[in-house]
Structure 1
Amino acid sequence: MQSENGIHTIDTGFHRPRFDAAYLLVENDRGAFIDCGTNHSVPRMLDALDRAGLQPEQVDWLILTHVHLDHAGGAGELMAKLPNAKLVVHPRGARHMIDPSKLWAGASAVYGEAVMERDYGRLRPVPAERVVEAEDGYVVEFTGRPLMCLDTPGHARHHNAVWDPHSRCCFTGDTFGLSYRDLDTEAGPFILPTTSPVQFDPDALHASIERLRALQPQAMYPTHFGRIEDVERLARDLHEQIDAMVVIALACDEHPDRHRALVDAFGELYARRAARHGWTGGRDLLLELLDVDIELNAQGLEVWLDRLKRDR
């Protein structure tokens, strides 16, 4: 757990080390979490508090960038441990925190109950009176350190990024892509976009990335994983790859095994770009590190393709 400008990076323990992050902000002996991982992450969140010298009752806020379970699945359990905290969430996601039954049912239909219990734990509701719906521009008043919620769709329609003027940094959820420290080279961080299986929108994602870039932040804090700088170059890389992924998806649409074609083509795209970035770990290791993300990106583009056809 590192600290800069009172920002502590927490490895939630989801999937593998340094894969999924949450953040703790400390200011004037008060705490605010941004994202929280799964139920299994709650001990890590409380340990981060302890290491920062805070007690659970000193936490004022849990701010969710979006309600995908790897970032918000543990919200109910964590809130039960934080007696004075309010939960801040995009209006489209609030109902799923108050009554997570539909969120659970939808994910269970895909992954199965056993996998859901293993990976996330049973979802616990958050009392409605403790939930704050953050419209675009909503400011969380955090002990003299305002945190602004910015509606940033593209990965998901229920997505807020969090702008911290004090540090001139942005907590980007999944809007500003994935950047694993395992893939850093002498050229800096490697980055790629992340879609979601149901709500990917390339035009909206381009616009959201530009909105965050225009803030001229010193650094971004994506949920996958940790602080990244060189924001201008990373934004260009994301724009290029979103366009490339759309081109690939359209080319693969009529393939008899569309999903396999997308997985293979995305793997080739990221391997080619990683090699150009100076990655020397080899193609096999790269594809192993990105296997979950390539699979989800393929699913996200398939849903997008099908939606295009329905909307014609």
Structure 2
Amino acid sequence: MPEHGIHTIDTGYVRAGFDAAYLVVEDGRGAFVDCGTNHSLEAMLAALDVAGLAPADVDWLVLTHVHLDHAGGAGALMQRLPNAQLVAHPRAAPHMVDPARLVAGAMAVYGEAEFARHYGELVPVPAARVVVAGDGHVVDLAGRPLRCIDTPGHARHHLCVWDARSRSWFTGDTFGLSYRELDSPRGAFILPTSSPVQFEPEAMQGSIARMLAESPQAMYLTHYGRVEGVQRLAAELDEQIDAMVSLAQACDGRPDRHRALVAALSGYYLERAQAHGSALDDASVLGLLQMDIELNAQGLEVWLERARQR
């Protein structure tokens, strides 16, 4: 049995080691935290087999937020979990009952064919099976409390989950991205995710500070896995958020703003990876982070435009 009954599930989204969901097991009952896409369904059910549970033993599916790499498969999974309830942030819960806006937004970005390839058909969740988790809401897993708190910064509909048993947070995307290929003798390498469309730097820093107040021993990231050395990682996230904002402001007003910002972020993350002692060469680092650099640039640009309108 994994430590504290926490199983890491590779959802298979994009590549191995990119997108995680979690299964928490307590006294023969289970709670999933996030679930990947429709294409992740078999991996989620296989994790139950590994843990010695049946689908009927799952009481909860807790979503950190409803970006589709975290929650796209929720409806299909709930159809296979007869006793489970879905837990979501107040801003997120309506999109699980009626995912039409999620579908429309993603199709506008990816196109119909790419949307189908990545996500399949989103399945609504009956309203009676959805629990709205306001700030401080406690999910009871066989007597094990899982406390949900409001953690804006990456998205305004984001929550993180505190597990006192393991003294750990399930952080979704609020505590950044950390791919195991970039680990070094210093430990995990981390970077914030400012992906569109609701990046708010001060709110993200506030959410990170709030999580640190519990003196956590580890963080369970969706991208990817369990990380320790939390105080160092939090300080690096805080520094990088400020730096990313400065880079975005420096590129603002240029006719080639997006290209310039992608180049600036690429150079910045390369410097950090080298200083961290990454064993990967520059091309491999950029290849690993290419999608995240593009999304971070887009999110920073949306933030710039929103700030201009205030």
TM range (shorter): over 0.9
Q: Which residue of 2 aligns with 1:146?
A: 145
CA-CA distance at 1:9 after TM superposition: 0.2
Amino acid at match of 2:227: I
1:241 counterpart = 2:258: no
Q: Which residue of 1 aligns with 2:75?
A: 76
Secondary structure in 2 aligned to 1:161?
strand
Deviating 4+ runs (over 3 angstroms):
none
User: Which structure 1 segments of 5+ residues have no match?
Assistant: none
Taking the aligned partners of 2:207 and 2:19, their CA distance within structure 1 comes to 21
Q: Which residue of 1 aligns with 2:64?
A: 65
Taking the aligned partners of 1:284 and 1:43, their CA distance within structure 2 comes to 34
Q: Which residue of 2 aligns with 1:52?
A: 51
Q: Which moved further from structure 2: 274-283 or 19-28?
A: 274-283
Give the TM-score taking structure 2 as reference length. 0.99
Q: Which residue of 2 aligns with 1:216?
A: 215
Taking the aligned partners of 1:35 and 1:3, their CA distance within structure 2 comes to 18
1:113 counterpart = 2:117: no
Secondary structure in 1 aligned to 2:199?
coil
CA-CA distance at 1:280 after TM superposition: 2.6
Q: Which residue of 2 aligns with 1:261?
A: 260
Q: Which residue of 1 aligns with 2:35?
A: 36
| Alignment RMSD | 0.7
CA contact under 8 A between 2:195 and 2:297: conserved in structure 1?
no
Secondary structure in 2 aligned to 1:190?
coil
CA contact under 8 A between 2:182 and 2:279: conserved in structure 1?
no
Amino acid at match of 2:192: P
Amino acid at match of 1:207: G
Taking the aligned partners of 1:157 and 1:117, their CA distance within structure 2 comes to 26
Give the TM-score taking structure 1 as reference length. 0.99
Taking the aligned partners of 1:215 and 1:195, their CA distance within structure 2 comes to 24
Amino acid at match of 2:258: H
Q: Which residue of 2 aligns with 1:122?
A: 121
Q: Which residue of 1 aligns with 2:24?
A: 25
Paired residues for 1:223-234 under 5 Å: 223-234=222-233
Secondary structure in 2 aligned to 1:5?
helix
CA-CA distance at 1:110 after TM superposition: 1.2
Amino acid at match of 1:245: M
CA-CA distance at 1:255 after TM superposition: 1.4
Secondary structure in 2 aligned to 1:290?
helix
CA contact under 8 A between 2:251 and 2:260: conserved in structure 1?
yes
Amino acid at match of 2:276: H
Secondary structure in 2 aligned to 1:140?
strand
CA-CA distance at 1:213 after TM superposition: 1.1
Q: Which residue of 2 aligns with 1:287?
A: 286
CA-CA distance at 1:214 after TM superposition: 1.2
Cα deviation digits, residues 247-292 of structure 1 (max 9, x gap): 0000000111111111110011100001000013111000000011
Taking the aligned partners of 1:271 and 1:110, their CA distance within structure 2 comes to 27
1:193 counterpart = 2:192: yes
CA-CA distance at 1:196 after TM superposition: 2.4
CA-CA distance at 1:123 after TM superposition: 0.3
Taking the aligned partners of 1:298 and 1:4, their CA distance within structure 2 comes to 37
